[in-house]
Amino acid sequence: MTIAIKGGTIVTADLTYKADILIDGGRIAEIGPNLSGDETIDATGAFVMPGGIDPHTHLEMPFMGTHSADDFDTGTAAALAGGTTMVVDFCLPAPNQGLVEALQEWHQKAGKARCDYSFHMAITWWGERVFAEMPKVVAEGINTFKHFMAYKGALMVNDDEMFASFSRCAEIGAMPLVHAENGDVVAFLQAKLMGEGNNGPEAHGYSRPPEVEGEATNRAIMIADQAGVPLYVVHVSCEQSHEAIRRARAKGMRVFGEPLIQHLTLDEGEYLNPDWDYAARRVMSPPFRNRLHQDSLWAGLQSGSLQVVATDHCAFTTEQKRTGIGDFTKIPNGTGGLEDRLAVLWTKGVRTGRLTMNEFVAATSTNIAKILNVYPRKGAILPGADADLVVWDPAATKTISARGQKSAIDYNVFEGFEVTGLPAVTLSRGVVAYRDGEVIAGTGEGRFVERPANPPVARALSEWKELTAPRRVERTGIPAGV
């Protein structure tokens, strides 16, 4: 069965043009005028774009004594309803658990996914076994390893472990990711604030100031440079961290930065809301920042110093958040966003003139497909690419509300946002997965996407590091053999 998407304007990361798309066997077969298939999707007046890729989700994540409420079923339903056709989730081995064993658990959980998915492997502890299993993980189609520089006593790894792991990544053609916050300082500030009776959700923000993020970002960049490996910094929330990335890139270092749609559009004032539930629902790490930081992140997307907009979708119910009443350090960290990322970025970015449509596609899909080495299978509208597409209605409007959302939680951090520009149809590998408010893709229809090691940037960097490596100078004028 073939499908023709007719009458639309194709928008990719580099081009905007009118053409039809013919889909055959789940892939794009042809792009051009007057195409027809067994079935037709009318895209008149719409933009046809690569489906969103969200490289940062935590579905059914074991965290802070509970599990995030959206699993691969509800989470990927939210993704498809929002025009996102692939998510990359974090596999988190328990202390002393092998990576391969943890990966099997994550594959089990992800069996429920409605859209395509991949994993990043987290380095949650360090030892011979982790070192030995990293290449096995790469052989399983995972080329990224995540390091938490925060969450002391839980997920956090120290500098020596990070350097060892980054060096291992360099050897095996993989890329490290970091959650960059100085976990020692955060732990100290948390205890200090609690000791002073500052136990509400607003103290979460005070315990994680921008300098703490900036320092960790600089440190991770230095360690990656010394290990000779590219680096991807997740949830860049502030100027201090962005500045570190910008400076490193200007020096020729291969560093990527990922702001979240939340940090671009929600500010620290959210934590001052007198309603405890309201503020706690917005507790995530790093916390929301002020307008100046938001401007910095937008500028980074415009200038290219930041490349990707993600969600870090890690949704907890109000009930789960209430674990932290009386102690803000026990509020499960995380917010949702999978269903809203594209519409909010379109509304606050494209419709304000902060981003072009092509920049929008780059930031939501194409750039991360390249960084994760799945381009052009994903993130592209080209013959041979997977037909992961969104037919985007730029005139459709809605007021974001928890009522009717696909996510399993009872609130939405974007509640009340008026958005213009929404998916009309989302296709996952050529099959209509969402149309006009209804998720059609069934539980378990998503597929694991293998991501091979050694993407071009990693190869180029290791060649450069090899060429510029220290070399012994053979000298004259001294006795032989010295």
Shortest distance (Å) from residue 99 CB to Zn ion: 17
Displacement of CA 363 from its chain's centroid (Å): 11
Name the nearest CA neighbour of 320 among 139, 66, 71, 137.
Answer: 66
CA dihedral for 338, 47, 232, 452, sign (positive or negative): positive
One of 71, 116, 312, 445 touching ligand URP (CB under 6 A): 312
CB atoms inside a 10 Å sphere around CB 159: 12
CA dist., res. 255 & res. 231, Å (int): 5
* Footprint of Zn ion on 129-188 (CB under 5 A): 179
String marking each residue 410-429 x if it binds ligand URP according to CB under 6 A: --------------------
Name the nearest CA neighbour of 171 among 468, 458, 467.
Answer: 458
One of 112, 168, 179, 378 touching ligand URP (CB under 6 A): 179
Shortest distance (Å) from residue 237 CB to ligand URP: 10
CA dist., res. 395 & res. 447, Å (int): 32
Q: Judge whether 53 and 369 are in contact, CB under 8 Å.
A: yes
Query: Binding to Zn ion by residue 312, rule CB under 5 A?
Result: yes
Piece of the chain touching Zn ion by CB under 5 A; list 18-26, 70-78, 192-200, 308-316:
308-316
Shortest distance (Å) from residue 49 CB to ligand URP: 26
Angular region, 454: left φ>0, alpha ψ -120 to 50, beta rest: left
Shortest distance (Å) from residue 119 CB to Zn ion: 13
Shortest distance (Å) from residue 169 CB to ligand URP: 19
Report CA Rg, the chain: 22
The structure tokens listed for 290 are 């002020």
Residue of minimal CB distance from ligand URP?
Answer: 333
Shortest distance (Å) from residue 58 CB to ligand URP: 5
Q: Report helix angle 210-227 to 183-195, nearest 10.
A: 160
Query: Binding to ligand URP by residue 182, rule CB under 6 A?
Result: no
Beta pairing, strands 231-233 & 144-148: unpaired
Name the nearest CA neighbour of 368 among 262, 259, 445.
Answer: 259
Q: How many residues bind Zn ion (CB under 5 A)?
A: 3
Q: Judge whether 428 and 51 are in contact, CB under 8 Å.
A: yes
Q: Judge whether 8 and 43 are in contact, CB under 8 Å.
A: yes
- Structure-derived torsion over alpha carbons of residues 107, 109, 111, 113, reported in degrees to the nearest 10: -120
**Closest CB to ligand URP among residues 318, 462:** 318
CA dist., res. 300 & res. 298, Å (int): 5
CB atoms inside a 10 Å sphere around CB 87: 29
One of 58, 254, 348, 451 touching ligand URP (CB under 6 A): 58
Query: Binding to ligand URP by residue 124, rule CB under 6 A?
Result: no
String marking each residue 342-381 x if it binds ligand URP according to CB under 6 A: ----------------------------------------
Binding partner of residue 334 among ligand URP, Zn ion, none, CB cut-off 5 to 8 Å per kind: ligand URP
Binding partner of residue 62 among Zn ion, ligand URP, none, CB cut-off 5 to 8 Å per kind: Zn ion
Residue of minimal CB distance from Zn ion?
Answer: 179
Piece of the chain touching Zn ion by CB under 5 A; list 16-24, 106-114, 312-320, 412-420:
312-320
Shortest distance (Å) from residue 234 CB to Zn ion: 6
**Closest CB to ligand URP among residues 178, 387:** 178
CA dist., res. 358 & res. 381, Å (int): 12
Piece of the chain touching Zn ion by CB under 5 A; list 36-44, 154-162, 270-278, 307-315:
307-315
How many H helices and E strands in the chain?
16, 20
Query: Binding to ligand URP by residue 92, rule CB under 6 A?
Result: no
Q: How many residues bind ligand URP (CB under 6 A)?
A: 8
Query: Binding to Zn ion by residue 341, rule CB under 5 A?
Result: no
**Closest CB to ligand URP among residues 12, 329:** 329
Placement of tokens 């990043």 in the chain = 120
**Closest CB to ligand URP among residues 179, 378:** 179
One of 285, 365, 373, 412 touching ligand URP (CB under 6 A): 285
CA dist., res. 116 & res. 70, Å (int): 16
Sheet containing 47-50: order of strands: 16-18, 9-11, 47-50, 389-399, 418-428, 431-435, 438-439
* Footprint of ligand URP on 320-349 (CB under 6 A): 333-334
Binding partner of residue 284 among Zn ion, ligand URP, none, CB cut-off 5 to 8 Å per kind: ligand URP
Helix, strand or coil for residue 358? helix
| Residues contributing to the site for ligand URP (CB under 6 A) | 58, 179, 284-285, 312, 314, 333-334
* Interface residue list for Zn ion (CB under 5 A): 62, 179, 312
